[in-house]
């Protein structure tokens, strides 16, 4: 996502962590309407995503302490590289941060990109869920990247349960991972899925591959699976399937327009009843898909 992300529905709750399965919790925060996960085990806890600044990451730790348990956060997992899911890493100084290899390669550049965007326009409104103070905290955060990265999958052992991390391909970014708690059938999908707005197609998305990536993750999910999106309320496997189909429809229209005789400018302007999302929100998706389908220059 970017500093000028698509407006989302206001967060329904900022009351801290809510248990969605046995010792698996989700907290939904007002700023950027972002979700943070917490998985407890005999040998410590895993936090899934950390919010958008070191200050907000510290607030997550405070909310964990309010659970009234002796919880030691030993691991953090970043579902992808974007600031609203990673800048809070700095608050978890004793935890090991895990992410996909591509997150390790792009953390520094992506952090500078978003800070530059906020420096250029720190303004905000209630529809974006953040204030100028929040933006200042983003810019002041010393960004901490992952300590351990992986290519396809990795596992965190919490003693009496495991947490698995799986990379199935590119989508919202090139480093999106699913975080699964197998014994409770809970899956965190980051911004591969959104509930409070349609999926965010940014300048680093892969619209032609996104649906296939979700299909691969859905192999591990059932209709009863609790799926935690990057933003919004938890959903189920059927919701993910429907959103996958919508993203596939976007990709189909992009392919048809690119392989036809029209220009990029026409593709960006022409409405199509098959598109499930507003055309104005698909500019980056169309440009990215156009580039991905353009033969390389000899």
Contacts 24+ apart (CB under 8 A), 135-139: 135/3, 137/52, 137/53, 137/54, 137/55, 137/56, 138/52, 138/53, 138/83, 138/87, 138/114, 139/115
Percent of the chain with pLDDT over 70: 92
Q: Residue 114's pLDDT band (boundaries 50, 70, 90)? A: very high
Pairing outcome for strands 44-48 and 34-41:
antiparallel
pTM above 0.85, yes or no: yes
- Among 196, 237, 242, which residue's Cα sits nearest to residue 218? 237
Q: CATH topology for 18-292?
A: Metallo-beta-lactamase; Chain A (3.60.15)
**Which strands form 153-157's sheet, in the order they lie side by side?**
153-157, 162-166, 178-181, 186-190, 226-229
Would the pLDDT of 170 be above 80? yes
Domain ranges for the chain = 18-292
CA 192, CA 176: separation in Å to the nearest integer? Answer: 7
Distance of CA 108 to the CA centre of its chain: 17
Q: Which residues contact 297 (CB under 8 A, 6 or more apart)?
A: none
The pLDDT of residue 128 is: 64
Would the pLDDT of 297 be above 70? no
């Amino acid at each position: 996502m970017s500093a000028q992300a698509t407006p989302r529905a206001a967060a329904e709750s900022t009351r801290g962590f809510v248990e969605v399965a046995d010792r698996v919790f989700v907290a939904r925060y007002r700023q950027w309407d972002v979700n943070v996960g917490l998985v407890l085990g005999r040998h410590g806890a895993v936090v899934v995503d950390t919010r958008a600044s070191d200050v907000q990451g510290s607030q997550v730790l405070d909310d964990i302490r309010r659970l009234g348990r002796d919880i030691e956060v030993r691991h953090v997992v970043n579902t992808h590289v974007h600031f609203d899911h990673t800048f809070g890493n700095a608050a978890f100084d004793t935890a090991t941060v895990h992410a996909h290899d591509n997150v390790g390669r792009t953390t520094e550049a992506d952090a500078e990109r978003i800070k530059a965007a906020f420096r250029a326009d720190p303004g905000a409104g209630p529809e974006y869920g953040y204030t100028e103070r929040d933006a200042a905290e983003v810019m002041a955060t010393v960004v901490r990247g992952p300590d351990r990265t992986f290519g396809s999958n990795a596992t965190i052992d919490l003693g009496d349960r495991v947490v698995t991390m799986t990379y199935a391909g590119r989508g919202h970014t090139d480093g999106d991972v699913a975080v699964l708690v197998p014994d409770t059938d809970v899956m965190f999908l980051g911004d591969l899925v959104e509930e409070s707005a349609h999926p965010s197609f940014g300048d680093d998305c892969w619209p032609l591959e996104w649906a296939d990536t979700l299909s691969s993750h859905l192999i591990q999910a059932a209709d009863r699976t609790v799926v935690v999106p990057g933003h919004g309320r938890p959903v189920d496997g059927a919701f993910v399937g429907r959103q996958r189909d919508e993203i596939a429809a976007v990709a189909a229209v992009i392919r048809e327009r690119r392989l036809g005789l029209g220009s990029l400018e026409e593709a960006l302007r022409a409405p199509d009843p098959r598109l499930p999302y507003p055309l104005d929100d698909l500019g980056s998706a169309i440009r990215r898909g156009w580039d991905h389908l353009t033969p390389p220059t000899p």
